[in-house]
Amino acid sequence: MAVILHITMVPADAGGVQPSPLGDYISPGRVSYPEGTVLTLRAVAFVGYFDHWEGDASGTDNPTTITMDSDKEVIVVFEIPEEIPTYQLTTDVVGNGIVVPGAGTYGAGDQALLVATPGDGNVFHSWLGDTEGTTPVPGMPNQLVVTMDRDRQIIANFVEATPEFSGFALADYLGQKLTVQVGDTVRVRLSVDYSGPAIDGAVWVAIGQRDTWFNEFFSSRTPVHFDASIDFVPYEIVADVVIGDRLGTNYDMYAKIMEVPGPDIFTPDYLNVIDVIGAAEFWNLTIDRYEKV
């Protein structure tokens, strides 16, 4: 006696079934078998992948086995992943600078990190274009995280900048006087706010006496670097001055930023802030008397 195997594909045309024995593909259709035949069914995906069996077969094993002891209805379920859309990211600049990466294709939901680097004489100012839903990296405004949910064009805006300094002075100066010895090192802490392109320079610190001009007795030069910024950024500069063999009191001090574009930048003169004394010395050590105790 013959029994019927009915095969259905979900979705239709997503794949086929290869039975064994009698292994012609069924995609989909009806096939008769002698009653009692034990069939091994192997699902073969044409698109996507096999997911599970339904009807008179069940589970996710592939292949699976059924016994044709009556008419059977077997449903083969395949999964076809949705195609992930892709979007184009393009970049451009205003002013002198570059943006990396320059352009690219991204899957929906992917994130791109853009980094804007200014050219000579420019500083990064802002991001323009399709920036809605983007996120600047905290503390690094020239870096932007872009979530690709549509085609986007992002523009890095650079502007020309000249060095600007503000508030150059001794840090936390309270008018105190310092007494040092010959050979000591005076550590000077200075503060300044800077805005402009990235530049290198030097800080000159001098200790001496202010007269018609400043007579420098002890001095030092300290290299400094200022990063590019459109906004004022605070800097603390530490400079060490070695005290030479010149004793005196009420010495004065000043500092300047030099070797940068434009004129030097000076602190105020700090008057009567340092006394220099000699190293400890002993003379005429004698025994005045001695006695029993």
Task: With CA atoms as reference, report the closest residue to 184 among 102, 98, 274, 111.
Answer: 274
- Residue 24: predicted pLDDT: 63
- Each residue's pLDDT tens digit, 26-44: 667 788 888 898 998 988 8
Q: Are residues 138 and 188 in the same domain?
A: no
The confidence score (pLDDT) of residue 139 equals 83
Q: Which of 108, 126, 160 is the last residue of a domain?
A: 160
Select from 63, 79, 95 the last residue of a domain: 79
Question: Both 140 and 220 in a single domain?
Answer: no
Q: Domain of 14: which CATH number?
A: 2.60.40
The answer to whether position 116 is within a domain reads: yes
Residue 289 belongs to some domain of the structure: no
Whether 47 has a pLDDT exceeding 80, the answer reads: no
190 & 209 share domain: yes
Handedness of CA 6, 11, 13, 17 (dihedral sign): negative
Query: Dihedral through CA 268, CA 274, CA 206, CA 229, nearest 10?
Result: -50
Q: Quick one: 32 and 129 in the same domain? A: no
Residue 129 maps to a domain: yes
- For residue 270, the enclosing domain spans 164-277
- Report the domain count for the chain: 3
Cβ-based neighbours of 264, under 8 Å, separated by 6 or more: 256, 257, 258
E-assigned strand segments in 211-293: 214-226, 229-242, 248-258, 265-266, 270-277
| Whether residue 34 sits in one domain with residue 136 | no
Residue 292 lies in a domain: no
Query: In this structure, is residue 293 part of a structural domain?
Result: no
Alpha-carbon distances of 89 from 108, 149, 160, 169, 255, rounded to whole Å? 11, 10, 26, 47, 49
Query: What's this model's pTM, rounded to 2 decimal places?
Result: 0.52
Q: Is residue 13 part of a domain?
A: yes
Confidence grade of residue 155 (pLDDT, cut at 50, 70, 90): very high
Per-residue pLDDT tens over the stretch 91-103 = 999 999 999 988 8
Buried b (16+ CB within 10 A) or exposed e, 205-232: bbbbeeeeeeeebbbbebebebebbbee
Asked if residue 239 and residue 152 are part of one domain, the reply reads: no
First-residue to last-residue Cα distance in the chain: 136
Residue 191: inside a domain, yes or no?
A: yes
pLDDT > 90: what percent of the chain? 54
Last residue of a domain, one of 111, 135, 160: 160
Assess if residue 225 is contained within a domain: yes
